[in-house]
Chain A
Amino acid sequence: MAAPRLIPCLDVRDGRVVKGVRFQDLRDAGDPVTQASMYQDQGADEIVILDVSATPEGRGNAVETTSSVRQVLSIPLTVGGGVRSVEDAFALLEAGADKVAVNTAAVQRPELIDELATRFGSQCTVLAVDAAARWSNRWEVVVNGGRTRTGRDVKRWIRFAAARGAGEILLTSWDRDGTRSGYDLDLIEAVTAAVGIPVIASGGADNAGHLEEALSSGATAVLIASILHDGVTTVGSLKKELIANGAEVRP
């Protein structure tokens, strides 16, 4: 079987890596090329770059960042943030992204998922979903960095998107993001039971135990950010621990 993937995520604003808690209080965490290259050397299975620039000028850097990172990266690269059209996606793919993630624009205009899947294939089309816990085993899709509620139920939205051609789900728990309190396992279980496409769990990782929990709950990959950027651990140490516990990850 394919091995579970450990995926460092770089939030990039105006060409610099940033990290915050619950999408707020962003602070500088370095240069994207240096960071991506370092995580590749540590054994990362993939890299995700999410552009969180607040302005169109800032977002313009995403293509340039993608292109620079591609030159050093021999593992897959997913880029998201501000992708609103097939043209936006094409520019990122041309620059060297292997997959493109859409979020807010897909909520506003779900046809975007069909368009991307038809033009580039489902394996290129990642739907990023920010999920906020609402009531017992229910989650609401939130957008704009959690500032805007959509009224959409997460499970229904993801099923709908998978049927439209999304090939992978990047599932972020808004409640856990940046908190290092563990992934929202109920959310992961609910979503992976609802769709047959790969789900990347995101939000809340602090240690290898958290990664194992997310993978046992049905995720095929785990996104890691804070603990790597803060130097708490490395991809290599996390993998060593997972392997020692019997997980079949790529060494």
Chain B
Amino acid sequence: MSADVVVVPTGTANAASVAAAFRRLEAEPKPAKNPDEVRDADYLVLPGVGAFGAAMGHIDRHGLRETLTDRIKEGRPTLAICLGMQLLGEKSDESPGVSGLGVVPEGVTRLPRDLTVPQLGWNLVAPGPLSRFVKPGWAYFANSYKLASVPDGWIGTQTEYGGDFVSAIERGDVLACQFHPELSGEWGADLLGRWLNGTGGRS
């Protein structure tokens, strides 16, 4: 299989790890050069490391807000990672006043103050009975913020860090993970493989 995986440049790091993970699955990841490529991609990855405000600024400067929103609303194959998942929300405590994509009617809140933050490390992911892509297992997290709750119409997974938080959501061929599948060893590689093979591709 040689799928075209287009990666949205959000002006932040982790693109190399994402690209390497897909190459190990024999896909051909490439950075999006314009909004058309984001719209037309068979598979789209919205990675993200860094701050909510900076990433949304980057998305707006490149005119990607509507393209991304439409694609996710239509349930076309899109993978949002870490901050990428948070960008689906309406707003974030991290960057007050900045509007997220708002495809899920949720805010993004900080992990509890009394914990070690950022959460850096491996934690258990517990999918619900309807989860299509995510299976139970250990995933690698690097986050200080999280989606407040599972939005209506989405299937969520839970992870415990000073109380349960939403570690992934999926709907149609859209998968958004608070963890980093590209850094989650074989479990993560299997998840990426299920998303690549189990989604509609050129839908």
A2, A67, A71, A119: the one within 8 Å of B120 (CB): A2
Chain A interfacial residues counted at CB < 8 A:
35
B142 touches A123 (CB 8 A): yes
From A3, A71, A98, give the contact of B23 (CB < 8 A): A71
Residue of B nearest to A195 (CB): B116
CB neighbours (8 Å) of A194 from chain B are none
Nearest-Cβ distance from residue A169 to partner chain B, whole angstroms: 11
In the bound complex, residues from chain A placing their C-beta under 8 Å from that of B161 are 1-2
B116 near A197: Cβ-Cβ < 8 Å: yes
Q: What DSSP secondary structure best describes chain B's contact surface? A: mixed
Pair A2/B20 contact, Cβ less than 8 Å: no
Q: Does A133 contact B (CB under 8 A)?
A: no
Q: Is the CB of A120 within 8 A of B50?
A: yes
Docked pose: A220 CA to B161 CA in angstroms: 14
Closest Cβ of chain A to B165, distance in Å, is 12
Verify B120–A167 contact, CB threshold 8 A: yes
Chain A residues within an 8 Å CB radius of B182: 74
- Smallest Cβ distance from A198 to chain B, in angstroms? 5
Size class of the B contact interface (CB-based, 8 Å): 35 or more
Q: What is the CA–CA distance of A122 and B119 in the complex, to the nearest angstrom?
A: 11
15 contacts between A and B (CB under 8 A): A1-B161, A2-B120, A2-B121, A3-B121, A5-B121, A45-B122, A71-B20, A71-B24, A74-B185, A75-B183, A98-B142, A121-B13, A122-B144, A197-B117, A197-B118
Q: Are A123 and B121 in contact (CB under 8 A)?
A: no
B51: Cβ under 8 A from any A Cβ: yes
B66 contacts A by Cβ under 8 Å: no
Given A4-B121, A5-B122, A220-B120, answer yes or no on A74-B184 (Cβ-Cβ < 8 Å). yes
Q: Chain B interface (Cβ within 8 Å of chain A)?
A: 12-17, 20-21, 23-24, 49-51, 115-123, 138, 140-144, 160-162, 180, 182-186, 188-189
In the assembled complex, how far is the CB of residue B86 from the closest CB belonging to chain A, in whole angstroms?
A: 12
Q: Is the CB of B49 within 8 A of A94?
A: no
Q: Which of A210-251 contact B (CB under 8 A)?
A: 220-221, 250
- Give which listed residue, B17, B23, B118, B189, contacts A167 with CB less than 8 A: B118
Task: Tell me the smallest distance from the CB of A131 to a CB of chain B, in Å.
Answer: 20
A70 at the interface (CB under 8 A from B): yes
Contact B118 A198 (CB under 8 A): yes
Q: Say how far B137's CB is from chain A's closest CB, in angstroms.
A: 9
**Complex contact B189–A74 (CB within 8 A):** yes
Name A44's closest neighbour in chain B (CB-CB).
B185
Residues in A with CB closer than 8 Å to B20 are 70-71, 73-74, 96
Alpha-carbon distance between A198 and B16 when the two chains are bound, in angstroms: 24
**A60 interface residue (CB < 8 Å to B):** no
Say whether B13 contacts A120, CB under 8 Å.
Answer: yes
A127 to B14, CA, bound (A): 19
The verdict on A98 contacting B122 (CB below 8 Å), with A120-B49, A123-B144 known, is: no
Task: Give chain B nearest CB distance to A119 CB in angstroms.
Answer: 8
For residue A45, which residues in chain B have a CB less than 8 angstroms away from its CB?
121-122, 140
User: How far apart sit A95 and B14, CA to CA, in the bound complex (Å)?
Assistant: 10
